[in-house]
Structure 1
């Protein structure tokens, strides 16, 4: 009996060994074309009824026009782009409430416009794996690297780039009058907010010292303040010959007008960050804006021969936008919708429509390398440990226009340690 059992086992072993191998199943092809009626939603929220409305409103209209243009061109791999928008009124508690509502829908990408919400939601974005593109580029909101990506160089980097240019060109650009003009001495006059303080960091102060530039004072004022003469006089008393502001619209305009009213405009070189370089500032400051400097990370409307500007002009006219909306916000929203389109297409090519997720989109943003949005209106580069672009040009207000006085420069990396 035992012999028969052994013989049976041998026969089974032989049969198994001789059986044909299972035919491998082909890998399921990625679906890179949208199903009929499929959509991709871009979520965004910001302030169009509060203190930042002057900048944010054109951001929103530009966003709408850019999405319409993408959809008219066939969408994203055949999927139409839908928009979900909410006004926060400039209040952080409203922004957090909107985010809580949006997160339940598992956004593939989110757009934000303020530094307070960028900082407040930094850890939530990581936890929820929602990539966010933000115009509020405080270093604390973007670093250590997470799921938030800045639309422009962080404010500390912008200040550093400005100081690079200032040091190299001081003999040519120093004010006509003023005090101790042998070297730049900077006072920062800015809002007492997360955005306003964005350029005032340990890293920028150390960088200034390394360049031989003294930061001799910092003065704060409230958004909408009708008078900053005290702050300007304090800066003069501290020995400043350069005033720098991390404000926008009425912020830089008030500094410029009050410097004129005090009779000290020619004693200071006055400059600000990229959001200060806008039509709203020009309109509010009037002639006092002449000579104002700052780092601009995008081309400007006056560069009419640029292919990206031609496209923006076409869209602006086609959508019957008002002249006041032809500003930096409208331009940057168009550039970043173009960027988001490219990111989504690369992600779909890699993981397919059925593999789309916030984490997959974040991976694309962090690895796709340089992208010239709208044919180079902006030059964008992110990385595994890099959360904001670095390219900008120094511009000056000349006869009511922003005129580039440098080629593209690379900002120093002054992210918070």
Structure 2
């Protein structure tokens, strides 16, 4: 029979061994390199309503990646600052994030105007931008900015092709009008290549209406649109702005008289909440998986939304995840190549250049970049509202309507 003293010594040894294990585990955790991922959303200003859902989404995407050890041997840290839908504020926010320790190895941008203004700064700081906006200045010449969506003029080309094939039923060519925001995002599709594409289809531009960022009365715009005889439109604006347009169209008896197309950033679910049945028939060149397909295509998004009991707009929530997927995947690729402790902006840049056919965790069409390519997608998902429900009309290829692109009419 063991003595009391022996038992005591045994317990002391066990306690010491457990303490050693705990200390070793803690030391290992502390030695785990922390990799910062930056985010430049716009939680105030004209973009605030649509981007509000990005706040919980950014936290949940990082938490999920850490929880699943998506980047083995590293801890991801979120660093963000509000750009305020203002270029000057966004520049200050960028500088603030860059001064953080650890410095972000990649920053996710959420604005065409801001992304364009920051192209040179991203290159100077050697911190790549995974950008939700799009402009020619971001992608030509190839820079440190990697745009998620197809060029706006190419999205527009896909909308024209879809409209002619699936919506327009008459023998004569339809009449077209630009109906869009009066800012860089809204004007981005309006390029000579886009105009040439319309002309090649026999389509005439009969009106151009620029809507203020925060409109209050668009009656004059709608009256001119009505007088033009336009059959369909395209442009870029957020749902809060388009809601004003649709209500004014309804007052003037124009509901359903013109088929409205918008770029991907016009959240149809949010639009339907604003205007109900007036949203029926509005189309977008979508780039994100429909909420109804989350469980099948991107279950982690659905899981975190439910687990965290989020009550924010689901489209915005999923849209934010789609960009974090690209950034986190690039960090993972960089860590695999250089080691988690050596991941920096250059390593993430190299990873983005090497990214091919990445499924974006099922949140969007596949993503591919290269040494010369800074556009992630080759297709859009045409989405529309029917009976106040957002539905998919399927993927549609985007024509290459960049300057010198293979689909630009000669």
C-alpha contact 1:34 1:77 (8 A) present in aligned 2: no
- From 300, 305, 326, give the equivalent of 1:311: 300
Gap change, CA 1:349 and 1:284, over 3 Å in 2: same
Contact 2:237-2:265 within 8 A present in 1 as well: yes
Distance 2:138 2:224 in 1: 31
1:322-361 to structure 2, matched below 5 A, reads 322=311, 324-327=312-315, 329-361=316-348
Corresponding residue to 2:310 among 321, 333, 347: 321
**Which residue pairs with 1:271 in the alignment?**
261
The yes-or-no answer on 1:150 pairing with 2:139 is no
- In 1, the alpha carbon distance for the partners of 2:158 and 2:97 equals 36
Residue 203 (structure 2) aligns with? 213
Q: Name the counterpart of 2:366.
A: 379
Distance of 1:171 and 1:195 partners within structure 2: 27
Check if 1:300 corresponds to 2:295.
no
For residues 366 and 164 of structure 1, the distance between their equivalents in structure 2, rounded to whole angstroms, comes to: 30
Query: 1:362 and 1:217, CA in 2 relative to 1: closer, same or farther beyond 3 A?
Result: same
Q: CA 1:315–1:354 in 2, change beyond 3 Å: closer, same or farther?
A: closer
- CA positional deviation for 1:45: 1.7
3-state SS of the aligned residue for 2:81? strand
**Moved segments of 4+, more than 4 Å:** none
Unmatched tracts of structure 1, length 5 or more: 1-32, 175-180
In structure 2, the residue matched to 1:70 is 65
Listed as ranges, the matches of 1:25-36 within 5 Å are: 36=31
Quote the residue 2:401 is aligned against: 414
Whether 2:102 is the aligned partner of 1:103: answer no
Q: CA deviation at 1:70?
A: 0.9
Query: Residue by residue, what CA displacement relative to the aligned partner does 1:117-141 show, whole Å, maximum 9, x if unpaired?
Result: 1111112222222110111223333
Q: Which residue of 2 aligns with 1:391?
A: 379
Give 2:189's match in structure 1, choosing from 199, 213, 217: 199
Alpha-carbon distance between aligned partners in 2 of 1:142 and 1:107, rounded to the nearest angstrom: 21
Aligned-residue offset at 1:416: 4.6
8 Å CA contact retained: 2:81, 2:94 = no
- Residue 236 of structure 2 corresponds to 246
Distance 1:168 1:90 in 2: 37
- Determine if the alignment matches structure 1 residue 405 to structure 2 residue 400: no
C-alpha separation between the residues in 1 aligned to 2:126 and 2:232?
Answer: 42
User: Measured at CA, do residues 162 and 260 of structure 1 come closer, stay the same or move farther in structure 2, by a change above 3 Å?
Assistant: same
Aligned residues: 374
Distance 1:292 1:340, change over 3 A: same
Match of 1:52 among 47, 52, 67: 47
CA contact (8 A) 2:153 2:189 kept: yes
| Rounded Cα–Cα distance in structure 2 between residues aligned with 1:250 and 1:307 | 28
Q: Which of the residues 231, 246, 252 maps onto 1:256?
A: 246
3-state SS of paired residue (2:206): strand
Q: CA separation in 2, counterparts of 1:378 and 1:412? A: 15
Q: CA deviation at 1:304?
A: 5.4
- 2:25 aligns with none
Instruction: Please give the TM-score of this superposition, normalised by the length of structure 1.
Output: 0.84
Deviation for aligned residue 1:74: 2.2
Give the Cα separation in 2 of the matches to 1:307 and 1:275: 20
8 Å CA contact 1:34, 1:353 repeated in 2: no
Q: 1:146 Cα shift?
A: 0.7
- Equivalent position SS for 1:405: strand
Match of 2:12 in 1: none
**Corresponding residue of 1:126:** 123
Partner-residue secondary structure (3-state), 1:195: helix
Q: Secondary structure at the match of 1:257?
A: helix
Q: How does 1:217-232 map to 2 (within 5 A)?
A: 217-232=207-222
Instruction: State the distance in 1 between where 2:40 and 2:209 align.
Output: 30
- Counterpart in the other structure of 2:33: 38
CA-to-aligned-CA distance 1:190-249 (integer Å, 9 cap, x gap)? 121111111111221112112222222211121221221211221232331112231011
Q: 2-side partners of 1:221 and 1:80: how far apart?
A: 44
**CA distance, structure 2, for counterparts of residue 377 and residue 45 of structure 1:** 20
Q: Relative to 1, partners in 2 of residues 1:65 and 1:376: Cα closer, same or farther, differing over 3 Å?
A: closer
